[in-house]
Structure 1
């Protein structure tokens, strides 16, 4: 179906949604309408159409910085990757964001001055593993080569971006993903990884996918389609690629040495998202939960959807209306950057 034909019913759907929830809203109306818009778009548009409607990372970044009156600062990394700086470029503390963001404003309000760099990486289906891992490694190498100590770097990733963050961890520990370049060695662990609704399993086969289908904005069918496209690449990849792509299903002991790569890890999930079961199982793996010095924290948001904290920022909620888990993430960042 043509894009216009798909989008045409959306205003009517949103008007009906607003009316239906006007007397029983459990979330701000901005969030309700935003959640329903995402559910509709992700269920009815092809991947190419969805990327067209939502815009490229570069175009969204430039539009946002112009609206906020910020300077456009872009570092060209090569290999189709860029670092897009949000606010002033600072190198004493850096939050590297793998798609998503918005936490630098609450941090600065608490006196934590942080450079925020958004990695523009190649999108699927036009690029597949290990392209995004190589681009992530290139970004980290660039920051560290510029003098940033690992202990002053926090990586924040949501959904697929969080998957890339754990691919980075796997690369440092195992280094056997078949990469020919960007062999990165750390002088010490980085300060932290914040994984918001991490896409730790590419199959939509858990009970939570069935239970929350139609509640979460990301449908089971869409998740299965997107994940299946990546899994179809496995036969041509190295034997260890599946552990990189699906960290929840990595062999026992795979993450035993994670504490040598990252000092603190925060994992979040919404109990109404399809990925809930896989995320919780991943966070509670013996080689993550028991063997990493109790520095792995799992936050679960009651009634939360996929990437729920990011959705608060996407619809522009004021600080006082942010969800409790969103505030908890900001506090986690403050502790990490204050150490």
Structure 2
């Protein structure tokens, strides 16, 4: 098992940006969707063909690093960028005012641990933020620009995810009851990894000390990547409906683990049922699409979690929706509400 970096090592380790050529290396996974038409009504923007969805993924990730995307997004929206550098050197940035917001949401973007975040992440969650304000709920989002594969693998990426929460707890001195974790796909995986670290501390990661009897306020997991297995029935059923592929999932998970054995912190579904009992979080929302290849794995994790925590998890499956629909639809300039997006906004206003 790889030892975590010491404080001095972490502070001296440079944070790399993924190069253009390294981004090209992910293309076989993105472009492995063949030309068969999706099993959607027509070829509308709301239900694009697999090849069009794949090209949207390429468009999403071939551009600038997430921090540069954020700077442009702030400029376009008349906002002042607000960056934080954590002890390891990894960057994070704010959407919302952490000084005045009642809640802090630490956000982990998806992309198979290999791909940058995108302005669609910022657009969607800024919309959630504004919707919450209509109910006098104020949230500041801290987006983590974690180090991507190949410059980091497990456990370093998870180390950075835990470090972001430690920053909010210790540097900002926020109680757990004011902290939310959210993430899509690989980011959802990281949310559950952080929860595991709170409940079952591993020496590989920073310790997260909650107050006596305290729990995180909530977790929003959008299509969380809970299993690296590739043999789920939903993969065969939805392989021509979803925007990710078996090939991409296999490549990304292999690259993330980089030859190391999987763990419950890396792959949440591998944890035994009892692992999740008395989870240190008040409420969880998990959303997925009926047309995504990860559906069966997500549903199995939900069933396992609810068997020992029957009252604090809400699960919504969006009809005729694919992977991370609330976010990826914005790439097609489709602003119509998805079922998953509606569920997120409703949950935020009901639970916070």
* TM-score, normalised with respect to structure 1: 0.80
Match of residue 223 from structure 2: 197
Alignment of 1:217-232 (within 5 A): 217-232=243-258
1:246 aligns with 2:267: yes
- The secondary structure found in structure 1 opposite 2:217 is strand
- Deviation of 1:54 after TM superposition, in Å, equals 3.7
Match of residue 119 from structure 1: 144
Residues 284, 216 of structure 1: alpha-carbon distance in 2 compared, 3 angstrom cutoff? same
Match of residue 325 from structure 1: 340
Give the Cα–Cα distance (whole angstroms) in 2 for the partners of residues 197 and 314 of structure 1: 17
Q: Is the 8 A contact 2:108 2:188 kept in 1?
A: yes
> How large is the RMSD of aligned CA atoms in angstroms?
3.1
Pairing partner for 1:96 from 103, 106, 123: 106
Structure number with the higher helix fraction is 1
Render the CA deviation track for 1:162-209: whole Å, top value 9, x for unaligned: 111111111111112x41x52111111011000000000112221111
- The secondary structure found in structure 1 opposite 2:298 is helix
- Deviation of 1:158 after TM superposition, in Å, equals 0.5
- The secondary structure found in structure 1 opposite 2:256 is helix
- The secondary structure found in structure 2 opposite 1:269 is strand
Give the Cα–Cα distance (whole angstroms) in 1 for the partners of residues 208 and 332 of structure 2: 37
Q: Is the 8 A contact 2:96 2:139 kept in 1?
A: no
Match of residue 64 from structure 2: 55
Match of residue 136 from structure 1: 161
Render the CA deviation track for 1:296-324: whole Å, top value 9, x for unaligned: 11110111111112223444444xx2113
Give the Cα–Cα distance (whole angstroms) in 2 for the partners of residues 231 and 218 of structure 1: 19
Q: Is the 8 A contact 1:39 1:219 kept in 2?
A: no
Q: Is the 8 A contact 1:312 1:322 kept in 2?
A: no
Alignment of 1:1-339 (within 5 A): 24=42, 29=45, 31-32=46-47, 36-40=51-55, 51=61, 53-89=62-98, 90-99=100-109, 100=121, 101-102=125-126, 103-145=128-170, 146-176=172-202, 178-179=203-204, 182-187=206-211, 188-235=214-261, 241-258=262-279, 261-285=280-304, 288-318=305-335, 321-337=336-352
- Deviation of 1:34 after TM superposition, in Å, equals 9.5
Give the Cα–Cα distance (whole angstroms) in 1 for the partners of residues 173 and 150 of structure 2: 34
- Deviation of 1:40 after TM superposition, in Å, equals 3.4
Q: Is the 8 A contact 1:167 1:244 kept in 2?
A: yes
Give the Cα–Cα distance (whole angstroms) in 1 for the partners of residues 101 and 88 of structure 2: 23
Larger RCO, structure (CA 8 Å, separation 6 or more):
2
Aligned length: 305
- The secondary structure found in structure 2 opposite 1:157 is strand
- Deviation of 1:55 after TM superposition, in Å, equals 2.8
Render the CA deviation track for 1:225-275: whole Å, top value 9, x for unaligned: 11222344324xxxxx521111112224121131xx111011111111010
Structure 2 gaps, min length 5: 1-20, 110-120
Q: Is the 8 A contact 2:158 2:190 kept in 1?
A: yes
Q: Is the 8 A contact 1:95 1:156 kept in 2?
A: yes
Structure 1 gaps, min length 5: 236-240
Render the CA deviation track for 1:25-79: whole Å, top value 9, x for unaligned: 6x6x2x445975442365xx7xxx984x143111111111111111100111132
- Deviation of 1:110 after TM superposition, in Å, equals 3.4
Q: Is the 8 A contact 2:153 2:255 kept in 1?
A: no
Give the Cα–Cα distance (whole angstroms) in 1 for the partners of residues 184 and 314 of structure 2: 16
- The secondary structure found in structure 2 opposite 1:124 is coil
Q: Which stretch shifts more, 103-112 or 123-132?
A: 103-112
Q: Is the 8 A contact 2:273 2:308 kept in 1?
A: no
